[in-house]
């Protein structure tokens, strides 16, 4: 009999009475999701992350506009997502529109909703999805229990048996700050570096949301506080506010992208260069 592990941090998340989000127990997509996380938790190591930072951190692989990048997500279905099975570009507009409704005065926040998953274009550049999508976690220190499927999926990860990397603080100092922590490689860190490289003028709160929005073991599970500093604690409410829209705007009712595109193009023109290096 197959045993499926519950997401340990599920208890921290409110649920819509008609829809259970982040369902890792009996979602029809759970087999695909667990395979993605098993590969991720096996291969995401300190060495692997450093290699990817070296390769992609230069942001010199291609040039294109934000809208061109967004259109690429028409061809991407996130294999780590147990909630939906439609292209990621629709999720971008769903998130942005949810934020726009509740925060009409924060256009940069709305833009963050649109942009936050653009780093997933890595999966269309021959990167495996386990190195692009899904929840993130620090490498170089002990894997915490609130990481989804953590009880079974890290057993073949070499860092889990390393004399330093397997300890609580690992290679880090107490309260060193998340900006000084190596996170598992994926779309969050990649897009953050792209936006910084291209000198986008999104406020720091927005860049922080982008960089850590997939770090569920921290912003929802409550783990890794021993690595956080005062800045992280100050930014946490922003990440949690963003997470409400990232997670709870997912529905099968798809947005009218053609109608919405001109509004968001104006925001892109305000905060991001027209042609960006990726």
Average of pLDDT values for 122-135?
94
Model pLDDT, residue 90:
82
Q: Give Cα separations from 35 to 38, 81, 151, 187, 246 (angstroms).
A: 5, 12, 14, 18, 23
- Does residue 12 sit within a domain? no
Flag whether pLDDT at 5 surpasses 60.
no
Model pLDDT, residue 85:
52
CB atoms under 10 Å from CB of 207, counted, come to 18
125 carries a ligand binding annotation: no
The SS3 call for residue 241 is helix
- Does residue 3 sit within a domain? no
Total domains present in the chain: 1
> Taking the model in full, what pTM does it have?
0.87
213 carries a ligand binding annotation: yes
- Does residue 15 sit within a domain? no
**Could you say which DSSP state residue 238 is in?**
H
- Does residue 19 sit within a domain? no
Q: Is the dihedral of CA 83, 116, 222, 40 positive or negative?
A: positive
246 carries a ligand binding annotation: yes
Question: Which of 9, 52, 7 lies closest to 182, judged by CA?
Answer: 52
The 3 state secondary structure assigned to 97-125 is HHHHHHCCCCHHHHHHHHHCCHHHHHHHC
221 carries a ligand binding annotation: no
Question: Which of 270, 276, 257, 263 lies closest to 73, judged by CA?
Answer: 257
Average of pLDDT values for 242-260?
79
117 carries a ligand binding annotation: yes
- Does residue 220 sit within a domain? yes
41 carries a ligand binding annotation: no
- Does residue 26 sit within a domain? no
Domain interval for residue 115:
32-277
166 carries a ligand binding annotation: no
79 carries a ligand binding annotation: yes
- Does residue 59 sit within a domain? yes
pLDDT one-digit tens code per residue, 210-250: 999 999 999 999 999 999 999 999 999 999 999 999 876 65
120 carries a ligand binding annotation: yes
226 carries a ligand binding annotation: no
pLDDT one-digit tens code per residue, 12-27: 344 444 545 565 665 6
- Does residue 11 sit within a domain? no
Average of pLDDT values for 119-127?
93
Banded model confidence at residue 83, pLDDT cuts 50, 70, 90 = low
- Compute the distance between CA of residue 31 and CA of residue 24 in angstroms, rounded to an integer: 9
């Amino acid at each position: 009999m197959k045993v499926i592990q519950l997401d340990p941090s599920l208890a921290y998340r409110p649920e819509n009475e008609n829809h259970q989000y982040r369902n890792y127990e009996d979602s029809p997509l759970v087999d695909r999701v667990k395979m993605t996380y098993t590969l991720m938790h096996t291969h995401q190591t300190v060495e692997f992350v450093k290699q990817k930072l070296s390769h992609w951190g230069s942001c010199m692989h291609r040039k294109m506009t934000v809208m061109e990048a967004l259109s690429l997500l028409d061809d991407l279905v996130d294999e780590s997502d147990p909630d939906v099975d439609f292209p990621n570009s629709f999720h971008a507009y769903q998130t942005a529109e949810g934020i726009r409704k509740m925060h009409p005065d924060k256009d940069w926040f709305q833009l963050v909703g649109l942009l936050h998953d653009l780093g997933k274009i890595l999966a269309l550049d021959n990167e495996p999805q386990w190195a692009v999508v899904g929840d993130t976690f620090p490498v170089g220190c002990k894997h915490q229990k609130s990481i989804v499927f953590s009880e079974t999926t890290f057993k073949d990860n070499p860092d889990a048996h390393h004399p330093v990397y397997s300890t609580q603080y690992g290679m880090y100092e107490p309260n060193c700050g998340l900006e000084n922590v190596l996170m598992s490689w994926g779309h969050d860190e990649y897009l953050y570096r792209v936006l910084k490289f291209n000198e986008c003028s999104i406020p720091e709160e927005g860049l922080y949301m982008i960089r850590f929005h997939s770090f569920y073991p921290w912003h929802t599970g409550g783990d890794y506080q021993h690595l956080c500093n005062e800045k992280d604690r100050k930014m946490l409410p922003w990440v949690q506010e963003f997470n409400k829209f990232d997670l709870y705007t997912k529905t099968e009712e798809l947005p009218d992208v053609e109608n919405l595109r001109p509004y968001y193009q104006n925001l892109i023109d305000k905060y991001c260069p027209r042609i960006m290096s990726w």
